[in-house]
């Protein structure tokens, strides 16, 4: 799928060499087209995505996206905004930006990676320079770790060679075979060049449910003591979160050199969502579908969700993940 635009560009340039096809082979003709692309990259980039065409990141635009589309995550908003804008404005970063996002399902981890991609490349997750790896899909068998390591290194090296500002997203890190992610340790370290390739301008984002229990414990302690969740600070949980993930045998980061060598720039906690946050999700979804917000429907959808702990019913156990499908019933 990602070769489609490039192929289209070559097809559109092909008429320029049609007359040359008769006396020479079609292969040479296509080579001529490719030579023309190299000679006139601006023309090629008019039809196909090019690495140099990435968006000039606007701090204001990124903040607006986070404010309008991500709810109940004051810590994640602040860290993502400062980390991404600071990294992209640095002309000579010493290492790739490495973010590890943790929390229950439905709290916004995947959504944040989508927002980051969209603010850097117009195609967002569909960009040729944004690469998504899903542990259960791409690395399903623990017995193949050695093969996966070789493949992963080749994939990353090849893509960064093609575009230094590549983005790599690893979803379901809690389901990744232990030890596999250590294969990319050289790419995340403080090296100017590794095998003639510089990785210092790349971005790596890890998504995981590991550590969610620790995040929930902190959030629940604040709630029970009557303190606002907005009073929670990164220092309240970041260190404990990294240790929890490092020592979790069910995490792809179990005893990982990425953590031991302090190569993860930020461990970003995503707090469990409350009832009011679910209602925000419903309102935004209704507006995105072109419906006028109906507060009665908003309340009915939010009331259908389940909450924990069982006695206090403070946090949604699925976040906003199933809100959108439940909304379908009321909009029918």
Residues annotated in the binding site for ATP, as ranges?
A: 103-110
Closest-CA residue to 234 (of 104, 108, 74): 74
Structure tokens at 325: 């499908």
Report the length, in residues, of the chain: 332
Question: Cβ of 66: how many Cβ atoms within 10 Å?
Answer: 22
What sections of the chain are H helices per DSSP? 4-13, 26-39, 41-47, 59-69, 74-88, 109-120, 135-138, 145-162, 185-188, 212-224, 238-246, 257-260, 275-288, 295-303, 323-331
Q: Angle of helix 212-224 relative to helix 238-246, nearest 10 degrees?
A: 150
Three-class SS state of 49? coil
Residue 79: how many CA atoms within 13 Å on its side-chain side?
23
Burial code (b: 16+ CB inside 10 Å, e: under 16) for 169-189 equals bbbbbbbbbbbbbbbbeebbb
Which backbone phi and psi does 119 adopt, to 5 degrees?
A: -85, -10
Give the whole-angstrom CA distance, residue 276 versus residue 302.
Answer: 8
Closest-CA residue to 48 (of 148, 153, 162): 162
Give the whole-angstrom CA distance, residue 163 versus residue 2.
Answer: 14
Question: Cβ of 75: how many Cβ atoms within 10 Å?
Answer: 21
Residue stretches of the annotated binding site = 103-110
C-beta separation of 47 from 83 below 8 A: no
């Amino acid at each position: 799928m990602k070769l489609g635009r490039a192929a289209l560009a070559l097809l559109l340039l092909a008429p320029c060499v049609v007359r040359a096809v008769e006396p020479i082979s079609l292969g040479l003709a296509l080579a001529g087209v490719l030579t023309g692309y190299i000679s006139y990259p601006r023309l090629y980039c008019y039809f196909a995505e090019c690495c140099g065409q990435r968006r000039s990141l606007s701090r204001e635009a990124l903040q607006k996206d986070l404010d309008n589309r991500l709810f109940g995550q004051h810590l994640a908003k602040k860290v993502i905004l400062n980390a991404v804008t600071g990294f992209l404005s640095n002309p000579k970063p010493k290492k790739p930006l490495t973010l590890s996002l943790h929390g229950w399902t439905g709290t916004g981890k995947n959504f944040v990676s989508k927002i980051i991609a969209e603010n850097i490349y117009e195609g967002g997750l569909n960009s040729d320079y944004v690469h998504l790896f899903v542990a259960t899909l791409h690395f399903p068998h623990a017995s193949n770790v050695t093969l996966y390591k070789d493949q992963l290194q080749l994939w990353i090296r090849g893509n960064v060679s093609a575009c230094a500002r590549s983005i790599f997203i690893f979803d379901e890190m809690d389901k990744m075979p232990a030890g596999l992610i250590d294969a990319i340790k050289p790419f995340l370290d403080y090296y100017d060049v590794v095998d003639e390739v510089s990785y210092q301008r790349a971005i790596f984002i890890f998504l995981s449910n590991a550590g969610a229990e620790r995040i929930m414990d902190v959030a629940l302690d604040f709630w029970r003591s009557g303190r606002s969740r907005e009073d929670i600070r990164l220092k309240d949980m970041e260190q404990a979160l990294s240790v929890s993930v490092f020592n979790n045998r069910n995490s792809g980061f179990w005893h990982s050199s990425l953590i031991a060598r302090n190569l993860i720039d930020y461990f970003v906690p995503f707090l469990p969502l409350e009832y009011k946050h679910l209602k925000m999700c419903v309102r935004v979804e209704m507006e995105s579908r072109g419906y006028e917000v109906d507060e009665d429907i908003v309340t009915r959808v939010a009331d259908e969700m389940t909450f924990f702990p069982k006695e206090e019913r403070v946090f949604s156990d699925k976040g906003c993940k199933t809100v959108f499908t439940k909304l379908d019933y009321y909009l029918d």
